[in-house]
Amino acid sequence: MAAEGSGRAPIIGVTTYLERAQQGVWDVRAAFLPEQYLTGVTDSGGIALLLPPQDPDAADAAIAGMDGLVLSGGADVAPELYGEERHPLTDPARVDRDAWELALFRAAERRRIPVLAICRGLQLVNVARGGTLQQHLPESLGTEKYRIGGGVYAENEVEIAEDTPFADIIRESDMTVHSYHHQGIDRLGEGLVAAAHSDDGLVQAFVDTDGGHVVGVQWHPEENAEDRRLFADLVSQARAFAARRKESAR
């Protein structure tokens, strides 16, 4: 639903996986995304459109009609993209998804389209900006607390940094988040500022300082239906972006 007097609801592109799917007699690769991402957008007043991996050359045309972008979670970003050898426990490369989402993010950057990057999405943005990742946190940090397995999200506390736009979104000094990851940020990419940490020093959120609206979180906000602050912020930013685009087209 659009806010009163604001015209149509903003259109938010959400990236998806290509995964094997079985339904009845069918066993095929299909675009897949947990419903929680969609409801995160729609509950916050946006319209969600799926963006499955495809030819990266199509990314600019795909993003041109969007008012916002969600880079969703999923398999590990290929370490070859940040110049490191593959750890034995790093997921097999998803070349199609890495290439597609990097192209989408860069197209969104050029157009100043607001971005919310979730878990893998945060890691992908960091790599796109020249940063690096820790490939296996149980080895580098000595903790399993971020991925307890079995499809169960771990709950962890994060501390919010003051004096960043992220603090204005959350309006709390700390919060409990839902985690499911075994990788994390090592060196922050260019133009990104840490906006939240966990008690072991791992960057849990960042914001962009290069003039665009990019928010990345290492956790899964879509899993908390009681807290839509990050999705609501994205939809609000997307609505403002759409208004500016409409005005500039006059």
Catalytic annotation, residues: 119, 220, 222
Distance CA 179, CA 173 (A): 18
Asked if residue 74 lies in contact with residue 34, where contact means CB atoms within 8 angstroms, the answer is no
Residue 229: Cβ-neighbour burial (10 angstroms; 0-12, 13-18, 19+): middle
Closest CA to 70 of 111, 21, 127, 125: 125
Evaluate the CA torsion angle 167, 170, 175, 178 in order and state its sign.
negative
Distance CA 121, CA 147 (A): 17
The 8-class DSSP code of residue 75 comes to: S
Distance CA 145, CA 137 (A): 9
Closest CA to 192 of 118, 241, 131: 131
